[in-house]
Chains A and B, each alone.
Chain A
Amino acid sequence: AQSVTQPDIHITVSEGASLELRCNYSYGATPYLFWYVQSPGQGLQLLLKYFSGDTLVQGIKGFEAEFKRSQSSFNLRKPSVHWSDAAEYFCAVAMYSSASKIIFGSGTRLSIRP
């Protein structure tokens, strides 16, 4: 069965420090890969997505993610976090189709230390 694993439930980093959120997926083939963010009181916002091509993808708000096929991973990174990055982050996959359900990980809550 398809699944997405985010091993870190809660991470705290200092403002200005670098960030890496881990994500591993289990799927029959390389799926579409996504990272979403949910800030308090807000809906889910797409940060970035990977479909094919360059395995390092750039997203909004200075985030990037790297797809590693050999490790079935799609880790999210940011060189320097800001207090406004405090939110919950979800890694997700979808099968190759123009309209497909999304399978989410359980989320990683990010706190920022002043």
Chain B
Amino acid sequence: EAGVTQFPSHSVIEKGQTVTLRCDPISGHDNLYWYRRVMGKEIKFLLHFVKESKQDESGMPNNRFLAERTGGTYSTLKVQPAELEDSGVYFCASSELGGSSYNEQFFGPGTRLTVL
């Protein structure tokens, strides 16, 4: 079974440009999460989708970030316009929906974003 995949693996853009990151969750996983790690700091939660709906977007840093999950399958995270402080590694994770116990989140390899 394929794991969580992310595209691209690396992206280098200039300040002010737009970048779109993509995440394909494990098939059948209705929960999808975005996290990011800026240089040397902890991995921080950005937002959580349940199917196509945003369940929690409390971690989104500002309105330059737009996440979508049309159709409840893959998700995109767009940064427009990108700033220097957006550089870091963006992780996506997915998990099953439902049940009374914790559903493990499976992480993708991340997209390394560098803003020059």
Contact = CB atoms under 8 A, between A and B. Distances in A.
A103 B31 contact: no
Interface in B5-42: 31, 33, 35, 40-42
Which bracket fits the contact residues of A? 20 to 34
B44 A104 contact: yes
Nearest to A4: B42
A22 to B, nearest CB: 15
Contacts of B41: 106
Contacts of B65: none
A110 to B, nearest CB: 16
B109 A43 contact: yes
A11 interface: no
A97 B102 contact: yes
Contacts of B99: 98
B91 A46 contact: no
A101 B48 contact: yes
Interface string A84-113: 000000100010111111111111000000
Which of A32, A36, A99, A102 has the most B CB atoms < 10 Å from its CB?
A: A99
A27 interface: no
B100 A98 contact: yes
Given A43-B110, A44-B107, A107-B42, 11 more contacts: A36-B107, A41-B109, A43-B3, A90-B42, A99-B31, A99-B48, A99-B50, A102-B105, A104-B42, A104-B44, A106-B42
Interface of B: 3-4, 31, 33, 35, 40-45, 48, 50, 55-56, 59, 91, 93, 95, 97-105, 107-110
